[in-house]
Amino acid sequence: MAACEILGIKIEVGEESALFEKCLALVGRGGVICTPNPLILSASVENASLHRALLSAELCIPDGIGLRPYLRAVDKNAAVLAGVELGQRLCERVKTVGLIGGRQGIAERAFSYLQGINPDLSPAFLLSGYGTPLSFLLERLKETKPALCFVCLGSPRQEILMHALRYYSEKTLFLGLGGSLDVYAGSVRRAPRPIRAMHLEWLYRMLCEPRRLRDLPTLLRFPILCEKHCQKKHKATKISTRNI
């Protein structure tokens, strides 16, 4: 499976099945999987900690239709894999999962949904994303060492936290899945399947959650940001070549 670089971050490229298999191969081995979209990648240009966390992840799986043109420049069959789908499919293959994120009670409801798909799934810990002490999280992580740990705090908090957590449970596979727990818990609905098939889920979410409209300028600037990055990289390469 190929990869491409977007704003200095290596993004995996391939069909959905190939992306999933690459993630599945890390189960039992551990590491970090990030699910960047145009908003996260744009933020990484200014946020050094986020940029470092994305660079250190074992995999950056594309989540967001705005990345598709860049991926398809490498492979015409390239797809994006929504984090909410990735997390659910991985939970079908493991015995233990730890969840952190959402308001009080969201992690418990999310786990109930995931356990309905895989009755053999056990909870390592189910923690709120608000007010859970880091010391308590580390204690539970070191004690339980789950196969999977979903860190759903929104970017950049989740990526930066996963970058630190990985050293406390090396065999755990950490995934940054944004608002996925709210979806699993049923407090947020995904777009209907026909809308997702038309790649318009981003528009559906904006209409359902007007606060997301504030992200629209960033989404519109994303192609320009990528073009500037490519020009800067090309210029640096030419200068470096001249100096050889």
pLDDT of amino acid 95: 97
CA atoms of 222 and 7, how far apart (whole Å): 10
Lateral strand order in the sheet of 31-34: 59-60, 31-34, 173-176, 148-152, 96-101, 122-127
pLDDT of amino acid 1: 60
pTM of the model: 0.92
- Angle at which helices 83-91 and 16-24 cross, to 10°: 50
CA atoms of 90 and 94, how far apart (whole Å): 7
168: three-class secondary structure by DSSP: helix
Tell me how crowded residue 223 is: count the other CB atoms within 10 A of its CB. Answer: 13
pLDDT of amino acid 211: 86
pLDDT of amino acid 213: 86
Low-confidence ranges of the chain (pLDDT < 70): 1, 234-244
Instruction: Decide: 22 and 59 in contact? Cβ < 8 Å.
Output: yes
pLDDT of amino acid 238: 52
Token duo for residue 123: 């909870």
80: three-class secondary structure by DSSP: coil
Phi-psi region at 109: left, alpha or beta (left = phi > 0; alpha = psi -120 to 50): alpha
Residues 6 or more apart whose Cβ sits within 8 Å of residue 104? 128, 130
